[in-house]
Chains A and B, each alone.
Chain A
């Protein structure tokens, strides 16, 4: 028994060291005065200064943020509908195909998704009402297609664990389906939708391959900028950028974790009070 827990403990320590040492080294070297990785030239924040002067990089970051925000919103809308369909409509003719198409982008290699969407955009370009330059809109459409699977999976599993009788009761009391969805279903699946939104946002912000395929020649998203910079080697500016991004994510995740824990506690308290109220003798 003793040996086993020692083995498990060392597996954890080794595993987390493997996961975190690269990130930590990036943070440490972002404060290195020297351009060379070999030499520690003292503490400095000059790479952060240079980063803020890099107009091109900032522009691409702003573009990526806008794409990610629109992507996440679109993916949550369509993904919630898809998750709802899969969880609630048990029988319709094309269900198997629908379910297959929704989950396929989860594992599809990015090069295939990117290539196929680009070829679609090229084929659609001669049609009216289709913008003939590729950029913001084409990348966003591609990203929505990629990320809506994640939202669907999250929303579907939340709906599966939800008590359907709530919806049925509202329906029995004469509420129309849309009202039931807005007043009962939506508030319950809202946390799943929020995590879906955040996940879609992150995935979109991070994607290089699909964006490279679907972007026009003059469009550069942040990952595309980073990629073309790091292809040439190590740059302290990118270390500084990575540190900022890791910092933002960490703060965000911690705050979200605290908020969720607090809400969960409130919900449990509410439940206990409700049970107590139900158990109390009436009179």
Chain B
């Protein structure tokens, strides 16, 4: 802060001063002293307390829920009763019985529907990721190389759809792709087709929906990578007689690998478990595992099987999530080193 106008106290600064005063008052008061003493006695002091708050939240609302899902995936289904699953642990005459019921998992393997749903979700997510990359890479590249004045505006245009409701943007495609929608009308007016194409409720619509919704997730990490590149490397290559396209292939593309990986993971992982897009745009026969899990839970009310689906989905996604985490940590550590 520069001493430009010393009398001026901004709203933010006033807020901070006020909070500091409040803090001092609180510290002086009895209950605080007492509880601080208590906390100190159990070994929670200063920075440990700071760690404890997010830690407790994550353990309670992230870690324990997963353990419960794992537990229920091994439970028996009880069709009547709340909750609709049997106990895992039983006390029979002071002996602890653990019933590990593998039936739910066997059911998933035996029923071709679930295997097919898993495979087709992975396929749909992979194809969508590749399409996102093919559309997103040139866009990210163009933005990163654009004039500085334009760059922020272009970035804003990429981010803006992200701030508007995802559900409503998927809904917009329902109107566009419908048999009476503008696209069909345009094609008919041009004389390219005689009767409306069936686009809504097909795999085609589902792909469009996924690519459309996740495109910004591909562009942003790619942009933040491409923007950092040293352009003199390319110039040097061209000066030495390298063709621009070859220079791109041998310099820019390898350098942008972290961006490609981050973007691809940000598209692929959520797309595998996507529910809304297959439900609104896909056909009734479109098998996506997110939708299967949803139906298993809400329609069939089979909580143990739904839990087993969730566990298998998580196992399928462990490798891509691991790659993403690894990249995230490297990125964060890199930022801190600077």
Chain A: residues with CB nearer than 8 A to chain B? 1, 4, 7-9, 11-12, 14-16, 18-23, 25-26, 29, 36-38, 78-79, 81-82, 84-87, 89, 92, 94, 98-105, 107-112, 115-117, 119-120, 122-123, 141-142, 144-145, 148, 152, 156-157, 160-161, 177-179, 182-183, 186-187, 190, 202, 205-206, 208-209, 212-213, 223, 226-227, 230-231, 233-234, 238-239, 241-242, 245-246, 249-250, 253, 257, 269-271, 273-274, 277
Contact = CB atoms under 8 A, between A and B. Distances in A.
B111 interface: no
Interface centre among B13, B19, B139 (most CB of A within 10 A): B139
Contacts of B314: 112
Given A78-B53, A84-B50, 10 more contacts: A16-B157, A20-B157, A108-B269, A144-B57, A160-B332, A182-B19, A208-B276, A231-B280, A242-B164, A253-B156
Contact of A273 (B2, B156, B157): B2
Contacts of B178: 37, 234
B263 interface: no
Contacts of A257: 156
A192 B199 CA distance: 42
A58 to B, nearest CB: 16
A15 B215 contact: yes
Contacts, number: 263
A209 B47 contact: no
A38 to B, nearest CB: 4
A72 B280 CA distance: 28
Contacts of A145: 57-58, 61-62
Interface in B128-160: 135-136, 138-139, 141-143, 145, 154, 156-160
A187 B1 CA distance: 11
Given A112-B313, A182-B20, A226 B171 contact: yes
Interface stretch (B90-98, B101-109, B290-298): B290-298
B225 interface: no
Contacts of A142: 61
Interface in B269-306: 269-270, 272-276, 279-280, 290, 293-294, 297-298, 303, 306
A111 B275 contact: yes
Interface stretch (B112-120, B253-261, B323-331): B323-331
B168 A241 contact: yes
Contact of A1 (B244, B265, B280): B244
B145 A107 contact: no
A78 B178 CA distance: 44
A36 B180 contact: yes
B293 A8 contact: no
A115 B297 contact: yes
Nearest to B266: A107
A93 B44 CA distance: 15
Contacts of B168: 26, 226, 238, 241-242, 245-246
B6 interface: no
B167 interface: yes
Given A8-B141, A103-B325, A161-B335, A119 B307 contact: yes
A115 B306 contact: yes
B273 A112 contact: yes
A109 B64 contact: no
Nearest to A250: B160
Contact of A18 (B54, B135, B321): B135
B307 A26 contact: no
B62 A104 contact: yes
Contact of B167 (A18, A107, A227): A227
B83 interface: yes
Contact of B176 (A22, A81, A117): A22
B108 to A, nearest CB: 15
Given A116-B310, A206-B166, A98 B58 contact: yes
B23 interface: yes
B325 A104 contact: yes
B142 A11 contact: yes
Nearest to A77: B53
A148 B55 contact: no
A157 to B, nearest CB: 6
B175 A105 contact: no
A230 B158 CA distance: 26
A41 to B, nearest CB: 14
Contacts of B244: 1, 4
B35 interface: no
B65 A29 contact: no
Contacts of A108: 269, 321
B68 interface: yes
A262 B178 CA distance: 45
A245 B166 CA distance: 11
Contact of B275 (A78, A104, A110, A206): A110
Nearest to B142: A8
A22 B57 contact: no
Contacts of B157: 16, 19-20
Given A103-B328, A107-B265, A119-B303, A246 B54 contact: no
B69 interface: yes
B317 interface: yes
Interface string B17-36: 00110010000000000000
B272 A109 contact: yes
Contact of A161 (B166, B293, B328, B338): B338
